[in-house]
Amino acid sequence: MCGIVGYIGHQDTIEILLKGLEKLEYRGYDSAGIAVRNQDGIHIFKEKGRIADLRGIVDQSVEAKTGIGHTRWATHGVPSKENAHPHQSASGRFTLVHNGVIENYEQLKREYLLDVALVSDTDTEIIVQLIDLFSKEGMETEEAFRKTLGMLKGSYALALLDSEAAETIFVAKNKSPLLVGLGDDFNVVASDAMAMLQVTDEYVELMDKEMVIVTKDSVAIKKLDGTAVTRDSYKAELDASDIEKGTYPHYMLKEIDEQPLVTRKIVQAYQNESGELAIDDKIAKAMDEADRLYIVACGTSYHAGLVGKQYIENMAKIPVEVHVASEFVYNMPLLSEKPLFIFISQSGETADSRAVLVKVKEMGYKALTITNAPGSTLSREADYTMLLHAGPEIAVASTKAYTAQISVLAILAGVTAKARGIELDFDLVKELGIAANAMEVLCDAKEEMEQIASEYLATTRNCFFIGRSVDFYVGLEGALKLKEISYIQAEGFAGGELKHGTIALIEDGTPVIALATQESVNLSIRGNVKEVAARGANPCVISMKGLESESDRFVLPEVHKLLTPLVSVIPFQLISYYAALHRECDVDKPRNLAKSVTVE
């Protein structure tokens, strides 16, 4: 979603801002802009479209020491130059970028700004106009900023320039992520450390309802009541090469290929000195004490949660419910007596999941976050964290985070089982190793997957994924992957549900991708394949070695029956990737989507 950068120092401000915005492109956006301040005032450049379009209109000859930049993912008002950030106040004095949603902006407009001619449809413009209004009433900028912040309901990460304040960026945060980066004779602001890794790896986290006055050699953090806050900085443990594509044409392909390595890294990270899988004792205790687990997540992470339910119930024998965060928050089920909440989130910043976390913490419950982002909001605000160790995932379509989530959930389930005195009848470390090897084999099967994509998906308008048991869950993920990057309407169904309605959609040639990795349901899923084939569908069966039939399109290497999602998802990821390529879609940055969904 929207991304913010800011720079104040002596280097080439415009280039630093543009490069920073390029690093934030992965979050998803539809327009972008920068504003820089120099002795002549504030210069704004903004454009609908990509950063490359913005580069085309920026006047590189403008020299400036201070600037802010923004990528916008439209919420209020269509993607357009007018609605793109930065927004400027009517007097031209203040210029602002914003990430988040201001819920009471209509009310603020009615109460304070009826006389101001607004030039955009955004909620953001209200903020900058209010600051202007209060400053015209005689307040210093800091005071006007603080007063405005006190009136805002909703989420915000803000960076503000004042044409009359010498080399200063005013910053504030509530619910939306924002960091201040520290340098030698310069400082930066960024939604994500990745954006400014080019200039610094030292960052200070901001907490909700804090504001910061940033100059090139000072960073003053304050609460909204003006109380000064001191906080240590930390080193962002990111390797600049982790966020480069290298020789790959797309991040998505690189991240698919990284999956076997990530699985091995996770096993290592959770092994103790004697090679046994281990987790923080406090997490094992909280799991053991819970009478029911509630997994809460969105999108791909929700799909991983469904697999996690199978693991925990099978291995650790604790009942689990899995919920979509955006539903759970408004429609909470009756909770058990001793619930434990598990949040799964690659980014650790997803607003829907965070809203649930805030609510259950208010209710006094404990929460565990499983995330790829140490220090993220969901990690900080939960009682416990388990990390994915997947390295930065840049492509909007989540791939390596999904398999990492599944590996971590398997480890959580296995270790909890042991803590509860339940002996597993298999060696989880060994089986995860076998799965990692099988994942490698699948990553090498790109030609076959490209062939399947061109045979089944090159021209189709829809596609169904069917499976039973855990294969149904992987089918849901396959369908999400295909639709989000190729725009083919794709849905996942439980094989047995077809005859209750969905089969009406089957026409001549409709591709139906069926997964058959579970012996217990092998005959029944094959029955479902026959049902759709009899109605004209073009079935593509992907099965597991040992369960295959002659007509199957692809056979997966054999892995433990609980770990099949780690391997069966890879063909779906690759098929989706090649289908998107065939259709000339922007694989890494699909339309309308954002990587980090920081608004509810």
Residues designated as active site: 2, 595
Task: Indicate which single residue of 345, 486, 518, 528 sits in contact with ligand M6R (rule: CB under 6 A).
Answer: 345
Closest approach of Cβ 342 to ligand M6R, in Å? 13
* Side chain identity at residue 161, one-letter code: L
Shorter beta-carbon distance to ligand M6R: residue 376 or 416: 376
Site string for ligand M6R, 447-486 (x = CB under 6 A): ---------------------------------x---x--
Whose structure tokens read 């009899």?
A: 534
Q: How open is the CA angle 350-265-595, to the nearest 5 degrees?
A: 20
| Helix, strand, coil percent values for the chain (each to nearest 5) | 40, 25, 35
Shorter beta-carbon distance to ligand M6R: residue 157 or 298: 298
Closest approach of Cβ 380 to ligand M6R, in Å? 15
* Side chain identity at residue 275, one-letter code: G
Task: Please work out the total of residues on this chain that contact ligand M6R, with binding judged by CB under 6 A.
Answer: 15
Tokens of 480: 């999400």
397 binds ligand M6R (CB under 6 A): yes
576 binds ligand M6R (CB under 6 A): no
Coil, helix or strand at residue 483: helix
Shorter beta-carbon distance to ligand M6R: residue 83 or 398: 398
Closest approach of Cβ 378 to ligand M6R, in Å? 8
Backbone phi, then psi, for 332, in 5-degree steps? -75, 135
Q: How open is the CA angle 142-144-145, to the nearest 5 degrees?
A: 65
Non-local CB neighbours of 16 within 8 Å, separated by 6+ positions: 5, 7, 67, 188, 196, 198, 199
Closest approach of Cβ 397 to ligand M6R, in Å? 4
Backbone phi, then psi, for 377, in 5-degree steps? -60, -45
Q: Is it true that the peptide bond before 177 is cis, omega within 30 degrees of 0?
A: no
Closest approach of Cβ 298 to ligand M6R, in Å? 4
Of 62-70, 227-235, 297-305, 430-438: span binding ligand M6R (CB under 6 A): 297-305
Task: Indicate which single residue of 31, 124, 174, 350 sits in contact with ligand M6R (rule: CB under 6 A).
Answer: 350
Shorter beta-carbon distance to ligand M6R: residue 120 or 350: 350
Closest approach of Cβ 405 to ligand M6R, in Å? 8
How many whole angstroms separate alpha carbon 588 and alpha carbon 251? 6
Task: Indicate which single residue of 120, 176, 310, 347 sits in contact with ligand M6R (rule: CB under 6 A).
Answer: 347
Tokens of 62: 């403008």
Tokens of 5: 């950068």
Non-local CB neighbours of 436 within 8 Å, separated by 6+ positions: 260, 261, 263, 264, 267, 566
Closest approach of Cβ 578 to ligand M6R, in Å? 16
Beta-bridge partner residues of 161: 95
Q: In the chain, how many H helices and how many E strands?
A: 19, 25
CA nearest neighbour of 126 among 109, 104, 107, 147: 109
In the bound complex, which residue of the shown chain has the CB atom lying closest to ligand M6R? 299
How many whole angstroms separate alpha carbon 526 and alpha carbon 521? 9
How many whole angstroms separate alpha carbon 510 and alpha carbon 289? 48
* Side chain identity at residue 444, one-letter code: D
Non-local CB neighbours of 521 within 8 Å, separated by 6+ positions: 468, 469, 471, 495
Query: To 10 degrees, what angle do helices 124-136 and 141-151 make?
Result: 130
Of 82-90, 132-140, 183-191, 343-351: span binding ligand M6R (CB under 6 A): 343-351
**Are the C-beta atoms of 367 and 383 separated by less than 8 Å?**
yes
Closest approach of Cβ 597 to ligand M6R, in Å? 5
Site string for ligand M6R, 298-337 (x = CB under 6 A): xxxx------------------------------------
Shorter beta-carbon distance to ligand M6R: residue 85 or 303: 303
Specify the DSSP element, H or E, that contains 98.
strand 94-99
Closest approach of Cβ 301 to ligand M6R, in Å? 4
Shorter beta-carbon distance to ligand M6R: residue 263 or 347: 347
In the 8-state DSSP scheme, what is residue 181? E
Shorter beta-carbon distance to ligand M6R: residue 23 or 93: 23
Closest approach of Cβ 1 to ligand M6R, in Å? 10
Closest approach of Cβ 345 to ligand M6R, in Å? 3
Backbone phi, then psi, for 511, in 5-degree steps? -70, 130
Of 13-21, 122-130, 346-354, 467-475: span binding ligand M6R (CB under 6 A): 346-354
> b/e per residue, 374-391, with b = 16+ CB within 10 A?
ebbbbbebbebbbbbbbb
Shorter beta-carbon distance to ligand M6R: residue 28 or 67: 28
Shorter beta-carbon distance to ligand M6R: residue 429 or 593: 593
398 binds ligand M6R (CB under 6 A): yes
Of 18-26, 147-155, 295-303, 492-500: span binding ligand M6R (CB under 6 A): 295-303
Site string for ligand M6R, 377-396 (x = CB under 6 A): -------------------x
CA nearest neighbour of 322 among 309, 331, 334, 335: 309
Shorter beta-carbon distance to ligand M6R: residue 269 or 324: 324
How many whole angstroms separate alpha carbon 240 and alpha carbon 114? 48
Shorter beta-carbon distance to ligand M6R: residue 135 or 301: 301
How many whole angstroms separate alpha carbon 539 and alpha carbon 476? 17
DSSP 22-45: HHHGGG--SEEEEEEEETTEEEEE
Q: How many CB atoms lie within 10 A of CB 220?
A: 13
Q: Which residues bind ligand M6R (CB under 6 A)?
A: 298-301, 345-347, 350, 353, 396-398, 480, 484, 597
